[in-house]
Amino acid sequence: MKRSLGYGAAMRLNKAMPALVLLCGMLAAPARAETVQLLALGDSLTQGYGLIEQDGFVPQLRAWLEERGHDVRIVNGGVSGDTTAGGLSRVDWSLTPEIQGMIVTLGGNDLLRALSPEVSRANLEGILQAAEAKGVEVLLVGMQAPGNYGPEFKQSFDAIYPELAERFDTVYAPSFFAGILPEGGTPQDATEFMQADGIHPNAEGVTRVVEALGPSVEELIARIEDAD
């Protein structure tokens, strides 16, 4: 003959049931993916020069990614006026332990100062070496020199980014301005998307930049998630 539970034992079991159900549900549910941690290492284009904070590159990129279901945190490592040398000088301490991926957008100020392409290449190489040493995936964003520096300078500078991307096996995007400039164009060809200085994109320009560059950032995130 089966023994029935006493009143007190039955009451204790009934009270425990909701907690048991919740625990079972938590164990059965798939683990939530952790937030992907990115660093955007760049100059004023990354920093958001001339724009209110939410219109800058990093906030707009974060919002674009979140709309597509990505749980991501992006550290704004943009410093206005920075060269590739400046990026190299701070990359090591900028790559804190939680950073899993880095977007590198540097070289524009090297061009404005007419620095030797060999110097820019060496600095970018050092940045990629630092990322490689720490196991950080990279999206390298390319840049093209204007024609007024001469064909030899332009050829040397333009080759830096695709060659380093191939050597270090990074994700590669040919141009930061791909979303607002025709191929081979200059900022003067898209004045409606530029600020008055003709160098930095306005809020609408940044939106277009993000739409064009976003898929490359998603590729970077996929690499990070596949490696986990």
pLDDT in tens, 18-30: 444 434 444 444 4
The answer to the question of residue 23 being in a domain is: no
pTM of the model: 0.84
Please report, as a single letter, which amino acid is at residue 37. Q
pLDDT in tens, 17-67: 444 443 444 444 444 458 999 999 999 999 999 999 999 999 999 999 999
The answer to the question of residue 151 being in a domain is: yes
Structure tokens at 129: 């070496």
pLDDT in tens, 122-133: 999 999 999 999
**Residue 69 sits in which domain range?**
36-227
- Catalytic annotation, pick one of 43, 82, 110, 200: 200
Identify the H or E element spanning 40. strand 36-42
The answer to the question of residue 1 being in a domain is: no
The answer to the question of residue 178 being in a domain is: yes
Q: Is 94 a catalytic residue?
A: no
**Cα torsion 202, 205, 211, 216: sign:** negative
- Catalytic annotation, pick one of 43, 44, 82, 216: 44
- From 60, 219, 50, 196, select the one nearest 141 (Cα to Cα): 219
Q: Give the CATH number, domain containing residue 76.
A: 3.40.50.1110
Torsion of CA 132, 95, 75, 185, to 10 degrees: -40
Number of domains in the chain: 1
Q: Is 89 a catalytic residue?
A: no
> Mean pLDDT lowest for which of 85-99, 102-116, 132-146, 179-193?
179-193
The answer to the question of residue 149 being in a domain is: yes
- From 167, 76, 178, 100, select the one nearest 128 (Cα to Cα): 167
Q: Is 200 a catalytic residue?
A: yes
